[in-house]
């Protein structure tokens, strides 16, 4: 279980998270929705101990990432929104390094990588330098390095951006299978994607949870976009923006 209790985080005068209390259970795919700057990425980074909250507590299963971030990172496979990659290393060199950090067995590493490289269609790019890869392929490298150690918790920040439809379909299937045995949380701006992939949705707005639950319960008879606009109060703002065009 990944849980947040009354978590608050400020960057100077900006409140990124305001008393957020959440629980993500295994067995479901959780989508985090929210406008830019709503606190989605901060929430994810706190689980890895990359960002320390000003108050509140967090648990990744029985590990407190604020006290033991290294332990938390062992459990979590994380893909950030920004591309983090070594420009001068090939994907195979990077995967070798990551495998060593996790102390992965040779045979296991080879077996998992063979599968992931095939399903993400990276065979032809394994000998290229990171700087030579397209944006989509860079993201695939990050996804593979997060997935290769079979993490108990998968946290993905905008994982579908830059992926072609075929690979996006593969990723959806991977998330579905991972959710059967662990926790899967991903963020997205694309409401249709959340609707298609997630079992449960959490909507953040100005650092607060404004809606949470299974998609079917949340949207009722509306479509997800209308529901999202309503709970975030963006409907009227949108009307004004459209008028200004």
Partner 1 sequence: MSWKVIAEAIAKEASYRAQKEMSRRNLTIMTAGGILKYNIFIILILSFISGLTGLASFGGRDAVLYAAIPLFIIEIMLGTLSMALNLQAIISDELLEPIQHLPIRERELRRALSLLGIYWGGLALPFAMIPAGLISSMILSDPSIFAGYFAASITGMILSLALGYLVGSIGGRYTRSVSRRAISTLLWTILIGFGFFINFIMSTFFSTVGSDLGVLRIVPPLSFLHWDLPSSISSALTFAVSLALLTYGTSRFWRAAISPGEAAPVSLSWELSFGLKSILMKDFKIASRNPRMLAPLIVNSIALPLFLISSMIRGIEKLDIPVVLVLSISLGVLQATYSAYSSYLLDSSGARALYMLPMSRRKVASMKTLSILAFNSIPFILISIGLMQLGSIWASIPIYLIALTGSGYLNCLIYAKMLPKEPANWSVETFERWIITIIMMVQTTFFLSLLIVSQFLPIFALWLSSLSLVAVYGASLYLSHELRDEPL
Interface contacts to partner 1, rule CB under 8 A: 12, 48-51, 68-71, 73-74, 78, 80, 82, 84-102, 106, 109-110, 113, 123-132, 142, 146
Q: What is the nearest approach in angstroms of partner 1 to the Cβ of residue 205?
A: 25
CB of 26 or CB of 71, closer to partner 1: 71
Could you tell me the two tokens for 144?
A: 């593979």
Question: Residue holding tokens 């689980």?
Answer: 47
Q: What is the nearest approach in angstroms of partner 1 to the Cβ of residue 53?
A: 14
Q: What is the nearest approach in angstroms of partner 1 to the Cβ of residue 93?
A: 6
CB of 90 or CB of 202, closer to partner 1: 90
CB of 53 or CB of 99, closer to partner 1: 99
C-alpha separations of 23 from 5, 6, 20, 112, 185 in Å: 9, 11, 10, 30, 11
Q: What is the nearest approach in angstroms of partner 1 to the Cβ of residue 74?
A: 4
CB of 95 or CB of 160, closer to partner 1: 95
């Amino acid at each position: 279980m990944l849980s947040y209790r009354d978590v608050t985080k400020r960057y100077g005068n900006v409140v990124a998270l305001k008393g957020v209390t959440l629980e993500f259970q295994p067995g479901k795919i959780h989508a985090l929705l929210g406008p830019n700057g709503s606190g989605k990425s901060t929430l994810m980074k706190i689980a890895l101990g990359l960002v320390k909250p000003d108050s509140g507590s967090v648990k990744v299963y029985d590990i407190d990432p604020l006290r033991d971030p290294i332990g938390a990172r062992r459990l979590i496979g994380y893909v950030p929104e920004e591309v983090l990659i070594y420009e001068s290393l090939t994907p195979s060199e990077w995967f070798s390094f990551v495998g060593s950090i996790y102390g992965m067995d040779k045979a296991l590493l080879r077996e998992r990588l063979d599968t992931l490289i095939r399903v993400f269609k990276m065979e032809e790019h394994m000998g290229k330098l990171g700087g030579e890869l397209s944006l989509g392929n860079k993201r695939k490298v990050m996804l593979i390095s997060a997935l290769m150690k079979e993490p108990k918790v998968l946290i993905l920040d905008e994982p579908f951006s830059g992926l072609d439809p075929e690979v996006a379909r593969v990723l959806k299937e991977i998330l579905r299978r991972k959710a059967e045995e662990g926790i899967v949380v991903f963020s997205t701006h694309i409401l249709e994607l959340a609707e298609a992939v997630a079992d449960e949705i959490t909507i953040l707005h100005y650092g607060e949870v404004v809606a949470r639950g299974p998609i079917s319960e949340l949207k009722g008879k509306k479509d997800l976009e209308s529901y999202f606009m309503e709970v975030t109060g963006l409907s009227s703002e949108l009307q004004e923006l459209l008028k200004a065009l």
